[in-house]
Amino acid sequence: MLMRLMVAGFAFFLLADNSFGQNAQPANANNQNTANAQYVRGRVVRVDPAKNVVIVRSGEGDQAREQEYTVGDTTQYWGTDRQQINDGLRYKGFRENADVWYRVGTGNNARSISEMRFYDPAAPVRNK
Protein backbone atom coordinates (compact mmCIF):
# COMPACT_ATOMS: atom_id res chain seq x y z
CA MET A 1 0.00 0.00 0.00
CA LEU A 2 2.79 2.39 0.87
CA MET A 3 4.50 1.60 -2.42
CA ARG A 4 1.33 2.45 -4.41
CA LEU A 5 0.99 5.74 -2.54
CA MET A 6 4.60 6.65 -3.29
CA VAL A 7 4.22 5.78 -6.99
CA ALA A 8 0.98 7.78 -7.23
CA GLY A 9 2.61 10.77 -5.51
CA PHE A 10 5.62 10.61 -7.84
CA ALA A 11 3.37 10.37 -10.93
CA PHE A 12 1.32 13.34 -9.71
CA PHE A 13 4.52 15.32 -9.20
CA LEU A 14 5.73 14.59 -12.75
CA LEU A 15 2.39 15.45 -14.36
CA ALA A 16 1.98 18.64 -12.35
CA ASP A 17 5.53 19.76 -13.11
CA ASN A 18 5.09 19.08 -16.85
CA SER A 19 1.77 20.91 -17.14
CA PHE A 20 3.07 24.01 -15.35
CA GLY A 21 6.18 24.09 -17.53
CA GLN A 22 4.12 24.16 -20.73
CA ASN A 23 2.52 27.48 -19.79
CA ALA A 24 5.74 29.12 -18.71
CA GLN A 25 6.95 31.81 -21.10
CA PRO A 26 10.03 33.98 -21.11
CA ALA A 27 9.55 37.38 -19.49
CA ASN A 28 9.69 39.11 -22.90
CA ALA A 29 7.59 36.59 -24.86
CA ASN A 30 4.99 39.19 -25.87
CA ASN A 31 7.43 42.09 -25.95
CA GLN A 32 9.02 42.79 -29.33
CA ASN A 33 12.48 43.36 -27.87
CA THR A 34 14.73 44.26 -30.79
CA ALA A 35 17.90 43.61 -28.80
CA ASN A 36 17.12 39.87 -28.71
CA ALA A 37 15.56 39.59 -32.17
CA GLN A 38 17.56 38.14 -35.06
CA TYR A 39 17.79 40.61 -37.94
CA VAL A 40 19.46 40.10 -41.28
CA ARG A 41 21.34 43.05 -42.74
CA GLY A 42 20.93 43.69 -46.42
CA ARG A 43 20.58 46.21 -49.23
CA VAL A 44 17.52 46.87 -51.33
CA VAL A 45 17.97 45.70 -54.92
CA ARG A 46 14.47 46.22 -56.27
CA VAL A 47 10.90 46.75 -55.04
CA ASP A 48 7.63 45.87 -56.78
CA PRO A 49 4.73 47.36 -54.77
CA ALA A 50 2.14 45.96 -57.21
CA LYS A 51 3.25 42.39 -56.47
CA ASN A 52 4.19 43.01 -52.79
CA VAL A 53 7.74 41.86 -53.50
CA VAL A 54 11.11 43.18 -52.37
CA ILE A 55 14.49 41.83 -53.53
CA VAL A 56 17.26 42.17 -50.95
CA ARG A 57 21.00 41.44 -51.27
CA SER A 58 22.58 40.10 -48.07
CA GLY A 59 26.12 38.97 -47.37
CA GLU A 60 29.44 40.31 -48.60
CA GLY A 61 31.72 39.46 -51.51
CA ASP A 62 31.39 35.88 -52.76
CA GLN A 63 28.83 35.18 -50.03
CA ALA A 64 26.41 37.89 -51.25
CA ARG A 65 23.03 36.54 -52.33
CA GLU A 66 19.91 38.19 -53.69
CA GLN A 67 16.67 36.91 -52.25
CA GLU A 68 13.11 37.70 -53.27
CA TYR A 69 10.68 38.13 -50.38
CA THR A 70 7.00 38.86 -50.20
CA VAL A 71 5.45 41.32 -47.77
CA GLY A 72 1.91 41.42 -46.48
CA ASP A 73 -0.57 43.43 -44.49
CA THR A 74 1.08 42.39 -41.23
CA THR A 75 4.62 43.39 -42.28
CA GLN A 76 5.91 46.25 -40.14
CA TYR A 77 8.24 48.94 -41.49
CA TRP A 78 10.41 51.40 -39.56
CA GLY A 79 12.11 54.48 -41.05
CA THR A 80 15.55 55.95 -40.43
CA ASP A 81 14.00 58.13 -37.71
CA ARG A 82 12.96 54.92 -35.86
CA GLN A 83 9.29 55.75 -36.43
CA GLN A 84 6.82 53.28 -37.88
CA ILE A 85 6.07 53.68 -41.60
CA ASN A 86 2.53 53.35 -42.88
CA ASP A 87 3.35 53.61 -46.62
CA GLY A 88 4.74 50.07 -46.88
CA LEU A 89 6.66 49.49 -50.11
CA ARG A 90 5.73 52.95 -51.35
CA TYR A 91 7.98 54.51 -48.69
CA LYS A 92 10.51 56.88 -50.29
CA GLY A 93 13.37 55.09 -48.50
CA PHE A 94 12.93 52.03 -50.72
CA ARG A 95 15.63 52.88 -53.21
CA GLU A 96 18.44 50.84 -54.70
CA ASN A 97 21.30 50.09 -52.25
CA ALA A 98 19.41 51.38 -49.20
CA ASP A 99 20.62 49.59 -46.05
CA VAL A 100 17.90 47.56 -44.34
CA TRP A 101 17.62 45.16 -41.41
CA TYR A 102 14.83 42.64 -41.71
CA ARG A 103 13.27 39.59 -40.09
CA VAL A 104 11.82 36.77 -42.12
CA GLY A 105 8.87 34.58 -41.21
CA THR A 106 9.11 30.97 -40.15
CA GLY A 107 7.78 27.71 -41.55
CA ASN A 108 5.55 28.32 -44.58
CA ASN A 109 6.31 32.06 -44.29
CA ALA A 110 10.09 31.68 -44.58
CA ARG A 111 10.05 33.58 -47.90
CA SER A 112 8.20 36.58 -46.43
CA ILE A 113 9.41 39.54 -44.41
CA SER A 114 7.70 40.13 -41.09
CA GLU A 115 9.58 43.32 -40.18
CA MET A 116 11.90 45.71 -42.01
CA ARG A 117 13.90 48.59 -40.57
CA PHE A 118 15.93 51.30 -42.27
CA TYR A 119 18.24 51.56 -39.26
CA ASP A 120 20.35 49.12 -37.27
CA PRO A 121 18.14 47.99 -34.38
CA ALA A 122 21.24 46.99 -32.38
CA ALA A 123 22.72 50.51 -32.58
CA PRO A 124 22.20 52.75 -29.54
CA VAL A 125 19.59 55.49 -29.81
CA ARG A 126 21.13 58.93 -30.29
CA ASN A 127 19.60 61.78 -28.33
CA LYS A 128 18.87 64.90 -30.32
110-120 pLDDT per residue, tens: 899 999 999 99
Q: Is the pTM of this model over 0.85?
A: no
Closest among 78, 88, 90, 92 to 121, alpha carbons compared:
78
- Residue 64 maps to a domain: yes
- Residue 52 maps to a domain: yes
Residue 117 burial by Cβ neighbours in a 10 Å radius (0-12, 13-18, 19+): buried
- Residue 67 maps to a domain: yes
**20-59: per-residue pLDDT in tens?**
444 433 333 333 445 557 899 999 999 999 999 999 999 9
- Residue 47 maps to a domain: yes
Whichever domain contains 108, its CATH number is: 2.40.50
- Residue 61 maps to a domain: yes
- Residue 2 maps to a domain: no
Number of structural domains the chain divides into: 1
**75-93: per-residue pLDDT in tens?**
999 999 999 999 999 999 8
The amino acid occupying position 71 is: V
- Residue 16 maps to a domain: no
- Residue 49 maps to a domain: yes
Domain hosting 111: range is: 40-117
The torsion angles phi and psi of 21, rounded to 5 degrees, stand at -65, -30
